[in-house]
Chain A
Amino acid sequence: ETGVTQTPRHLVMGMTNKKSLKCEQHLGHNAMYWYKQSAKKPLELMFVYSLEERVENNSVPSRFSPECPNSSHLFLHLHTLQPEDSALYLCASSQTSGGSTDTQYFGPGTRLTVL
């Protein structure tokens, strides 16, 4: 499946580094999402964008900064992360953010390790 792509697939960074995760969807969808998946809390919704506007922010620390320049691209900018931020970061897209029957299409994820 290549509908939603994510880069990089793996990332190792120090706590003082700044890095960005990229997501691109080729499905013509209007909504995009960032999820964090860790052993302790599977599939935590972080951010929701609908037509490039942030519509949901689930109390995510400010060291995570999303950016949605257009409906096909979504970024997650990372700075001064903590080791507990190590996780799989999944991007997803759907036709709309609140459509009653919308399904979500996930990217392959970025495996992030913070040293």
Chain B
Amino acid sequence: GQQVMQIPQYQHVQEGEDFTTYCNSSTTLSNIQWYKQRPGGHPVFLIQLVKSGEVKKQKRLTFQFGEAKKNSSLHITATQTTDVGTYFCAGRAGYSTLTFGKGTMLLVSP
């Protein structure tokens, strides 16, 4: 079955440093979504990428979808303590249900 792998599993940065999490799929995806889960909270949808090579930005967050539509990345510039949480990618092949990666837990020290 479809697998979505995410690295790193965990990252601890100082406030102001950049952060990147990577997502790789075993199959070509029709789209990829990113979710954020704050500590003690539930996953919340951030963004969806559909087109090959697509890049989208949300303030300090930059999302990329690979040319082959099998990988994606989320980059945060100049992290803030409010960025703390677990970031999940979720991929869909065709009209199948979403497959979530295991997530990257981000800790930001002030």
| Interface residues in chain A, defined as those with a beta carbon under 8 Å from any beta carbon in chain B | 1, 33, 41-43, 45, 48, 56, 90, 92, 97-101, 103-109
Contact = CB atoms under 8 A, between A and B. Distances in A.
B44 A106 contact: yes
Nearest to B102: A42
Given A42-B100, A98-B95, A104 B50 contact: no
Chain B interface extent, by class: 20 to 34
Nearest to A98: B95
Nearest to A44: B100
Nearest to A43: B100
Contacts of B31: 100-101
Contacts of A106: 42-44
Of all A-B residue pairs in the complex, the 4 with the closest CB atoms, nearest first, are A98-B95, A106-B42, A43-B100, A103-B45
Given A100-B31, A103-B33, 17 more contacts: A1-B44, A42-B102, A43-B43, A43-B100, A43-B103, A45-B99, A97-B97, A99-B95, A100-B92, A101-B48, A101-B50, A103-B45, A104-B43, A104-B45, A104-B90, A104-B98, A106-B42
